[in-house]
């Protein structure tokens, strides 16, 4: 873990645990997440030979990220408990947003969603991710509750998607 992220998290977590969630939320809301910049970075991966540093292939990673984005618009098939979403889930997202990075299990699928197809070509999986991200950016209807974080507005979802994708991209390398 990067020292800066560790320090930010070390400050944010006690604030949440001590009832300072409002302060962490304020810090989290002050950070901006630019999905158009992320979209350009992902588009630049077109045609590149890539490898994954996890048990998932690059294709599986891209499919998983696309599924997560689709879930925000179409709904997630399974959710964590309401208690989890209103406590640990919302606190975790606030800490991630305040820290500007996310750390999560990079090979755990989304609850209730079909597992990614390991045989799907990387380029097709990347195209699905790009389309999902563009669809989200243009989306103006009501968003579905997140399976772990609960009700999120578009700004919070944009942050969650960017942090999620960037966490996965940390394990994608040129082949």
Q: How many domains does one find in the chain?
A: 1
**What is the rounded distance in angstroms from the CA atom of residue 2 to the CA atom of residue 101?**
10
pTM of the entire predicted model: 0.84
User: What would the pLDDT profile of 81-104 be if each residue is shown by its tens digit?
Assistant: 999 999 999 999 999 999 999 999
Question: How confident is the model at residue 14, as a pLDDT?
Answer: 52
Ranges of residues in the chain with a pLDDT under 50 are 1, 3-11, 15-16, 18, 20, 28
Q: Give the DSSP letter string of 39-96.
A: HHHHHTTTT--EEESSSS-HHHHHHHHHHHHHHHHH--S----HHHIIIIIHHHHHHH
Range of the domain at 69: 3-174
Question: How confident is the model at residue 138, as a pLDDT?
Answer: 98
Question: How confident is the model at residue 32, as a pLDDT?
Answer: 80
């Amino acid at each position: 873990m990067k020292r800066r992220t560790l320090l930010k998290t070390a400050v944010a977590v006690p604030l949440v645990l001590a009832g300072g969630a409002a302060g962490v939320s304020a810090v989290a809301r002050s950070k901006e997440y630019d999905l158009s910049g992320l979209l350009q970075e992902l588009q630049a991966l077109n045609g590149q030979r890539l490898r994954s540093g996890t048990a998932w292939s690059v294709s599986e990673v891209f499919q998983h990220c696309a599924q997560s984005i689709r879930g925000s618009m179409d709904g997630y098939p399974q959710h964590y408990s309401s208690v989890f979403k209103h406590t640990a889930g919302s606190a975790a997202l606030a800490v991630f947003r305040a820290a500007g990075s996310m750390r999560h299990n990079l090979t755990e699928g989304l609850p209730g969603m079909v597992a990614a197809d390991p045989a799907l070509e990387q380029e097709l999986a990347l195209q699905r991710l790009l389309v999902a991200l563009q669809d989200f950016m243009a989306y103006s209807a009501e968003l579905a509750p997140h399976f772990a974080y609960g009700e999120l507005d578009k700004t919070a979802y944009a942050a969650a998607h960017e942090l999620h994708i960037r966490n996965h991209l940390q394990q994608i390398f040129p082949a």
